[in-house]
Amino acid sequence: MPGHNNMWVLLLLLLCTAGALEARAETFQLSAQQWEEHVLPTIQPGAVFNENMLPRQGATESWYLVPDWMAGTWQHDYSDQFMSGKDGKPTQTRLMDRNAQTFGHLRDRSGRWWETLRVPFINKSEVANEIMVRTVLRSTAIPRTSDEFELITESVDVYYNRNTAVIMSVDRRRDATVFVPTKSGGVHSLQSVQSQNFGHGSIVTNWYSVASPTLIPRWTDGSDLRPSFAKFLQSHDMAELVP
């Protein structure tokens, strides 16, 4: 009988695992808009966070032109953040968060650099006993002038306790970041932040070059970007630019 009971326990575990995987697969098949409409309302303070709540990354992919002065890999060591919360009290914080970002993964036949936009995009940061998971739902690239380039993102930030995984807050956020070249050969960015829970403010960052532009045909997850790039160019009547 002990062996018989163990068999039933094993069967129950398999069924539970299958159910969890099925739920995860259903969540991952949702578009960003569907996830926002049907899953996000269930992510509330007091609930227990788990990564099955998150949508599949990169379900939608597009491409945008990168100015020559912005192509390459850039790094910053800190940013100056100025925020004004709902109570009207301004705060100033120097963020010591070394970060590197590449603009321009592929080049078309005419020599222009292009970067991919993949949404949803998810990243995570940790401070003390708090973990923040940011899900970028929408991202738009806008070339304003020859010397100004803007990226606009709309995201949802989920803050939860590192030890208990209990969600502490859920915040909707919109970032509009304008990049401009500097006389010293760097890039300056001014990021305007509109946060549902934490008010509004700005983040000023100075980037310095760590690598010249070079072809990077694969994304961070290892996927080949070239088929997507070719498909994008062809679907936008630019087949002659496929490299």
pLDDT, residue 30, reads 63
Whether the link from the prior residue into 45 is cis, omega within 30° of 0, is: no
Domain boundaries, the chain: 31-241
Tens of pLDDT, residues 192-219: 999 988 788 999 999 999 999 999 999 8
pLDDT, residue 125, reads 87
| Number of helical H runs and strand E runs in the chain | 3, 13
pLDDT band at 241 (very low <50, low <70, confident <90, very high): very high
The answer to whether 130 and 168 are in contact (CB under 8 A) is: yes
pLDDT, residue 229, reads 96
What is the phi/psi pair of residue 105, to 5°? -85, -35
What is the phi/psi pair of residue 152, to 5°? -115, 130
pLDDT, residue 10, reads 33
Average pLDDT over residues 66-83: 93
* Mean pLDDT of all residues belonging to the chain: 85
Q: Distances in Å between the alpha carbon of 49 and those of 52, 55, 96, 161, 195?
A: 9, 13, 27, 9, 21
Q: Is residue 61's pLDDT more than 60?
A: yes
How far is it, in rounded angstroms, from Cα 132 to Cα 168? 10
Q: Is residue 21's pLDDT more than 60?
A: no
Higher pLDDT, 238 or 14: 238
Residue (of 11, 44, 9, 43) closest to 27 by Cα position: 43
pLDDT, residue 22, reads 36
CB half-sphere exposure, 184, CA atoms < 13 A: 7
- pTM to 2 decimals? 0.79
How far is it, in rounded angstroms, from Cα 169 to Cα 191? 23
From the CA atom positions of the chain, what is the Rg in Å?
Answer: 22
Tens of pLDDT, residues 110-168: 999 999 998 999 999 887 899 999 999 999 999 999 999 999 999 999 999 999 999 99
Q: Which residue is listed with tokens 């045909």?
A: 217
